[in-house]
Chains A and B, each alone.
Chain A
Amino acid sequence: MSDTLPTVVGLELEREFAERPNDDKPRQSRNDGPPRRPKRRRRRSRADNPMRGIVTGKADRFTIYALLILMAVLFAFPLYSAIVKSLEVNGIQNYVSLFTDPVGDVPIWQTYLNSLAVGAVHAAIVVTVSVTAGYAFSKLQFRGRELSFSAVLLFLAVPGIAILVPVYRITQELGLFNTYLGVGMPEAAITIPFGVLLMRNYGRNIGDSLIEAANLDGAGHFRIFWNIFVPLSRPAIINLMVLCFIWSLQDFLWPSFLFTDPSLTTAAQAVSTFSSALGRGAGDLARFNASLVVLAVPAVLFVVFGLRFIVNGLTTGSTKD
């Protein structure tokens, strides 16, 4: 249990955490004398997680649990309500029928695949642009580097809706309506400022010694980039990719304007497709809620299996949204 925090928190933070001088008492006392077992255990967990120590009394611990559980119930209520509603009228049959008798013009599993395909394009573009730019901004020396980096970050906060009109125009000009590329590119454009920030922050923490050694060996920048920088930034690249996939999964704006072919409907878009395809009767409402629950599944899987990458990525990049 005590190792959950370092797993959740970023790689660098983990390192920072480990490198902190051993001046806190519990950690040092762990080594002296033959400690009795239970005592040792307690001390150890304290040392791993200094925050653990701040809960001193039983009453405090109880209050913390009570408040956390209360909030967890409130937070879980909407999803619970969707599940309750989804089982009305026909029970589990509501779920089965989603797969055997698709709602609207698109099978529900197809919406996952569409989101995934858009996510792949999104991730490929973001990673290519961010890793190359991240290398330039962290490992190359040129005049105006910090200035141009600041210029890149200016666009960190641009909301997609603000460039809706030109993106529509660009997609028209390039003939990219109803293509994964057509949606993946504007998504990437919105993510790139963040990606560059993340890769540059990560790149700055990669030591120069390896690069200098390679430089002395006569390796050019392209070899250094490909054989040293890219492999060393792999953790950051993975975080970035996971984030791209989850943002594609969440994105409603671009698919809703740039996909007109129903078979391309993405998961986030399907919510409105299903809502208009189903009536307002009790049976339809139940089926609609079942579809909402099914559409939430990928996000749940992402959080269960990818939370570490998401948190690492978001906190290394320090700001997004």
Chain B
Amino acid sequence: MTIREQPRPVLKRRTSRRSDWKVALVFLLPLFVMYGIYYLYSIGFLASTSTTKVSVTFFNSIDVGWRNYVQLLTDPVFIRSMVNNVLFACISIVAALTVAFFIATALATGVRAKRLFYLIFLLPALMPLSLVATIFGSMLTERTGVLNETLRAIGLGALAQPWLTQPGLAFAVVAVIFCYLIGLPIMYYTADLSALPTESLEAALLDGAGTFRIMRSIIYPMMRGTHITIVLSLLLGSFRSLEVVLFSTRGGPGQSTEIVGTYIYGFATSGGPTIGFVSAVSIIVLVIALVLSIAQMVITRPRKDMR
């Protein structure tokens, strides 16, 4: 995309230096090795394993054709975990586009103790997810959890709930943990805010617009590119959030909070001849990830050219 846009002299130099590809091959060799092993080989291996019934020892594999895929796509738990995955992602996207945007903007207006605020808001996203989810799980335990204890202590004992064992509440809890991890969107917004053109802000100020009006009607629309980046990165991130569910509700109660990550994890750790099935799920997840990557490239490309 860039070569075509480069001015003439550069184009000329390019033709005179065409022999670079040999050097490039050397410089790209480490990349080829890693990609070869962990992506190309992996995908081939997954594709061939996904049509078999085999345990983790990889001995005595039985060819079952497309049966794994059929079983997978008709499994209500898989459909459920897919839907949950997207739902949790959407909830965190809503939180990011509102709360994270507000936090980033508010902190950019020069409040006091800014570093402390950044620490509080960004820390959750930089701690091990397993730790964050476990802390939530421990905090929300029905009998000994600090939340219920606090509610009882301030006379709101009636509000104490079995947070993790009632399906609706457990779902809400996982959604809250997803929203708790909006540090990354805050960072993206902060970075974009610092490059904000000042003219329109001043014009709005001259017009007498209030703080929140400026945030909503001037700054918010100007961050369109960042919004898109955030939406896509959270959507993709939700497939990486195994620990969020695993360490808080373990997918339960029933299988009401299962996401794709815990679905795979459950089968992978079951010890039975489930590896072929797990491979089939992995292939589906890979296809989704690649499609979203392509979408991301296509959508964000024009913006990069403009900058």
Contacts and interface: CB of A to CB of B under 8 A. Distances in A.
Interface of A: 1-2, 4-6, 8-10, 13-14, 16-17, 20, 23-25, 45, 49-57, 60-61, 63-65, 67-68, 71-72, 75-79, 81-82, 84-85, 125, 128-129, 132-133, 135-136, 140-143, 145-146, 148, 150, 152-170, 172, 185-186, 188-189, 192, 196, 221, 225, 246, 249-253, 257, 267-269, 271-272, 275, 282, 285, 288-289, 292, 295-296, 299-300, 302-304, 307, 310-311, 314-315, 318-321
B223 interface: no
B260 to A, nearest CB: 8
Nearest to A76: B120
Interface in B115-169: 115, 117-124, 126-132, 134-136, 138-139, 144-147, 150
Given A140-B27, A155-B293, A165 B135 contact: no
Interface string B36-59: 011101110110010000001010
Contact of B147 (A81, A156, A157, A275): A81
B184 A321 contact: yes
B87 interface: no
A34 to B, nearest CB: 25
Contacts of A64: 106, 109, 111, 211
A125 B56 contact: no
6 contacts: A17-B194, A51-B108, A75-B180, A150-B297, A162-B289, A252-B130
B38 A315 contact: no
Contact of A268 (B130, B212, B233): B130
A230 B2 CA distance: 24
B23 interface: yes
A133 B28 CA distance: 5
A2 B112 CA distance: 10
A175 B217 CA distance: 58
A296 B296 contact: no
B194 A6 contact: yes
Contacts of B76: none
Given A314-B184, A318-B229, A75 B120 contact: yes
A314 B186 CA distance: 11
B105 interface: yes
Contacts of B72: none
A81 B144 CA distance: 11
Nearest to B139: A81
A60 B45 CA distance: 59
A10 B144 CA distance: 44
Contacts of B184: 314, 320-321
B191 interface: yes
B292 A165 contact: no
Contacts of A169: 45, 58
A258 B215 CA distance: 48
A165 B110 contact: no
A54 B103 CA distance: 15
